[in-house]
Amino acid sequence: MSISPVQSRCMDCGHTFDFHPLTTRCPKCGSEWLEAQYDYDLVRDRWLRQLADRPFNLWRYHELLPVQHTPPPIDLGAGGTPLLRGVHLTQMLKLPHLFIKDERQSPTSSFKDRQAAVTIAALQESGLTELVVASTGNVAIAYSAFAARAGIKLWAFLTSLVPQEKMREVAIYGTQVVKVTASYDEAKQIAVEFARQRGLYIDRGARSIPTVESMKTLAFEISEQLTRQHPEARYGGLPWRAPDWYLQAVSGGLGPIGVAKGFRELYRMGFIDRMPKLGIVQAEGCSPMVRAWEQGKAQADPIPRPRTHITTLATGNPGRSYTLLYDYVREHGGTFVAVSDAEAFRAMHMLAKMEGLSMEPAAAVAFAGLIKLVRQGVIQPHETVVVNCSGHTMPIESHILGERWARHVVVARRQEQDEAQETAPLGAPQEGLLAALSSIATERYPRILIVDDHEPARILLRRILQSLGDYTILEASDGYQALEIAQQDPPDLIILDLMMPGLDGFSVLDSLKSHPATAHIPVIVVTAKTLTQEEQRRLRRMARLMYKGEFLSDEFFEEIRRLLDQAR
């Protein structure tokens, strides 16, 4: 629980107001660029007195996170990853104070779990049940895992370049994958338009407060871990120690933006004596930030056709995120550097052979950048360097997913359109993109009414249905509400709990069957109670009967599909 209400401050007009997860624009000027603020004096006192006794996970910093109830019940153990010392690499680079933040050791193996843990918790607290995200892979995987636990249906828009293994990993959590044959930036526009058409919440990356705030926990953990693990570091007598450098492979730039804010807060509270330099590493074939930096520009020109095999890093248009990082690097030091795919693959093999760290190519980009910056003398031997090592993906079992785990949007490519797009700003969706989207946005989904007085039971059923297919899910918490909904606009199927206070399942069923408008609706009665022979006979005449223990069985899925097909 935050000790004082979190404030949102508009980065454009300075207007400040109480934070709410679903308020995405400044009420005064309409800007989407908001920043969280806290009562730092209060937090400093608390942390000095209490932090030592808290478990080492990201919720130990809850006073500076925009989530009310911590740790949230949906947490999977995000954060609290080890800070490893370099071993052979340290010797090869003559860099004695090299540390590796091992984010592979988090629930879905990348630092996107921090983002998912905080963002999904904040959205769940605000009652959200459906969410859209565009991703180059790892965000979709992390969000899928946490959304499954939160009973939030997730739509993940992925470019078709994302490796099949990653797409299947997203799908296995029950997320609706939409595979977009286009660049990542175009996939993002399609997702935005899809969310707008359906009135759904879409994740806005660096413009979302919970998302930026989640990445701060990397800075907090690193500083605390260095204090314990690196006693020889210079630190000016303050409580914690900051590194001289934080290195990360960058796509949209969210990670370093959040990390920079974390260090700024620690500096402001008097915990650390310096602001680390940022080493921002991009893949050569998609390095808009590096190009802009080399030209001394505060704005990056978009790269419409990224040319890298490392899809995780394929953001061609970083927008304002680059400018925020540019400002930081100008003020506190650091640099932007590009490495080729070949350099990244070599670093990947080397890190596995020499350090026992098997990582995905995107993480290897950061290490290739480290090697380059040390060779160039930009990083000095006495400096303390932390590299974010992330994203280790296992191949997953493809055969359990069946056929229909992705939807396909094809954006028609014509020569003129290509050329128009090279010069057009990337803000507005192109016509071809919208036409492509219409193939998935127009269906009418079967409506299923869940009737149960027990909220966790409803959430479980909702989640099962969300992962099963496309249904419009209605919920009633008692029998009267159920009858009202059923009579106003009869659903295609009702899943009915038997034991409820007030009007119980038997009475609801009797009433449904005696009204012509609702008599035909198929009903599945679910119960935890053992029924008498007589009760069973009575129910079986009017409904399908299932025991609550059977919820996760294939039989339950089959039953729902069968009843819906019959009702057509």
Ligand X SMILES: *Cc1c(COP(=O)(O)O)cnc(C)c1O
Using CB under 6 A, list all residues that contact ligand X. Answer: 110, 112, 138, 249-255, 312, 360, 362-363, 390-391
Report in angstroms how near the CB of residue 473 gets to ligand X at its nearest.
31
**Is 13 near Zn ion (CB under 5 A)?**
yes
DSSP 206-258: GG-HHHHHHHHHHHHHHHHHHHHH-TTS--TT-SS---SEEEEE-SSSHHHHH
**Is 15 near Zn ion (CB under 5 A)?**
yes
Instruction: Indicate the residue whose CB is closest to ligand X.
Output: 255
- Alpha helix positions (H), 249-319: 254-268, 288-294
Compute the distance between CA of residue 361 and CA of residue 519 in angstroms, rounded to an integer. Answer: 58
Residue 390 binding: pick among ligand X, Zn ion, none (C-beta 5-8 Å cut-off by kind):
ligand X
Nearer to ligand X, 110 or 159 (CB): 110
Report in angstroms how near the CB of residue 116 gets to ligand X at its nearest.
11
Report in angstroms how near the CB of residue 553 gets to ligand X at its nearest.
35
> Token pair for residue 467?
């992962």
Residue 158 binding: pick among Zn ion, ligand X, none (C-beta 5-8 Å cut-off by kind):
none
Task: Output phi, psi for 155, to 5 deg.
Answer: -105, 120
Report in angstroms how near the CB of residue 429 gets to ligand X at its nearest.
22
CB 551 within 8 A of CB 464: yes
Q: What is the four-CA torsion angle of 311, 313, 316, 321, rounded to 10 degrees?
A: 150
Report in angstroms how near the CB of residue 472 gets to ligand X at its nearest.
33
Compute the distance between CA of residue 295 and CA of residue 212 in angstroms, rounded to an integer. Answer: 27
Beta bridge partners of 245: 277, 385
CB 190 within 8 A of CB 121: no
Nearer to ligand X, 124 or 251 (CB): 251
Compute the distance between CA of residue 174 and CA of residue 99 in angstroms, rounded to an integer. Answer: 36
CB 405 within 8 A of CB 384: no
Among the residue ranges 7-15, 299-307, 375-383, 453-461, the one whose residues contact Zn ion (CB under 5 A): 7-15
**Is 34 near Zn ion (CB under 5 A)?**
no
Task: Output phi, psi for 10, to 5 deg.
Answer: -75, 130
Residue 465 binding: pick among ligand X, Zn ion, none (C-beta 5-8 Å cut-off by kind):
none
**Is 28 near Zn ion (CB under 5 A)?**
yes
> Token pair for residue 460?
């479980």
Residue type present at position 166: K
Nearer to Zn ion, 33 or 480 (CB): 33
Residue 546 binding: pick among Zn ion, ligand X, none (C-beta 5-8 Å cut-off by kind):
none
Report in angstroms how near the CB of residue 327 gets to ligand X at its nearest.
16
Residue 112 binding: pick among Zn ion, ligand X, none (C-beta 5-8 Å cut-off by kind):
ligand X
Residue 25 binding: pick among ligand X, Zn ion, none (C-beta 5-8 Å cut-off by kind):
none
Report in angstroms how near the CB of residue 189 gets to Zn ion at its nearest.
24
Residue 497 binding: pick among ligand X, Zn ion, none (C-beta 5-8 Å cut-off by kind):
none
Among 7, 16, 23, 31, binds Zn ion (CB under 5 A): 31
Residue 29 binding: pick among Zn ion, ligand X, none (C-beta 5-8 Å cut-off by kind):
Zn ion
Report in angstroms how near the CB of residue 28 gets to Zn ion at its nearest.
5
SS3 content of the chain, % helix, strand, coil (to 5): 45, 15, 40
Nearer to Zn ion, 15 or 346 (CB): 15
Task: Please report which helix (H) or strand (E) contains residue 423, including its range.
Answer: helix 415-423
Residues forming contacts to Zn ion in the complex (CB under 5 A) are 10, 12-13, 15, 26, 28-29, 31
